[in-house]
Amino acid sequence: MIDYQVHTLSNGIRILHKHSPSAITHCCFVVNAGSRDEPEHKEGLAHFIEHLLFKETETRSTNQILNRLELVGADLNAYTTKEYTCIHASLLRQHLERTVDLFQDILFHSTFPQQEIEKERGVILDEIASYVDQPEEAIQDDFEELLFKGHALGKNILGAPETVGAMNKADIKHFMAANYNTAEMIFAVFGDHDLKKLIKLAEKYFGIIPANYSKKNRIRPNDSKGEKVSVHRPITQTHCVMGNRAYPSSHHHKTGLLLLNNLLGGMGMSNRLNLEIREKYGIAYTIESNYTPLSDTGMFSIYFGTDTEKAEKALRLVHKELKKLRDQKLGNLQLHQAKQKFIGQIALAEENRMGLIISMAKSLLDFGYVDTLEQIFAKINACTAEQLLEISNQIFDNSLTTLMFVPKQ
pLDDT tens-digit map of 89-127: 999 999 999 999 999 999 999 999 999 999 999 999 999
User: Residues near 374 by Cβ (< 8 Å), separated by ≥ 6?
Assistant: 1
User: Residues near 137 by Cβ (< 8 Å), separated by ≥ 6?
Assistant: 131
Topology of the domain covering 228-407: Cytochrome Bc1 Complex; Chain A, domain 1 (3.30.830)
List the beta bridge partners of residue 241.
303, 403
User: Residues near 292 by Cβ (< 8 Å), separated by ≥ 6?
Assistant: 246, 298, 299, 300
* Pair type for strands 228-233 and 401-407: parallel
* Helix H or strand E encompassing 143: helix 135-147
Residues of the chain short of pLDDT 50, as ranges, are: none
Average pLDDT, the chain: 95
Rounded Cα gap, residues 229 and 217, in angstroms: 31
**Reduced to 3 states, what is the DSSP secondary structure of residue 12?**
coil
Domain 5-205 has CATH 3.30.930.10: no
pLDDT of residue 409: 72
> 320, 299, 315: which is closest to 257 by C-alpha?
299
pLDDT of residue 343: 97
* pLDDT tens for each residue of 303-350: 999 999 999 999 999 999 999 999 999 999 999 999 999 999 999 998
Note the helical H segments in 24-134. 45-52, 62-70, 96-108, 114-132
* Helix H or strand E encompassing 304: strand 298-306
Rounded Cα gap, residues 21 and 194, in angstroms: 11
DSSP code per residue over 146-164 = HHTTTSGGGS-TT--HHHH
Q: Write down the domain spans for the chain.
A: 5-205, 228-407
Rounded Cα gap, residues 327 and 324, in angstroms: 5
Q: Answer whether 207's CB lies under 8 Å from 9's CB.
A: yes
Rounded Cα gap, residues 80 and 30, in angstroms: 10
Neighbours of 19 (CB within 10 A): 16
Burial class (CB in 10 A: 0-12, 13-18, 19+), 166: middle
Contacts 24+ apart (CB under 8 A), 110-114: 110/52, 110/53, 110/55, 110/56, 110/57, 111/56, 111/57, 111/58, 112/52, 112/55, 112/56, 112/169, 112/172, 112/173, 113/55, 113/56, 114/169
pLDDT of residue 1: 65
The pTM for the full model equals 0.94
Tell me, yes or no, if the two domains 5-205 and 228-407 fold the same way.
Answer: yes
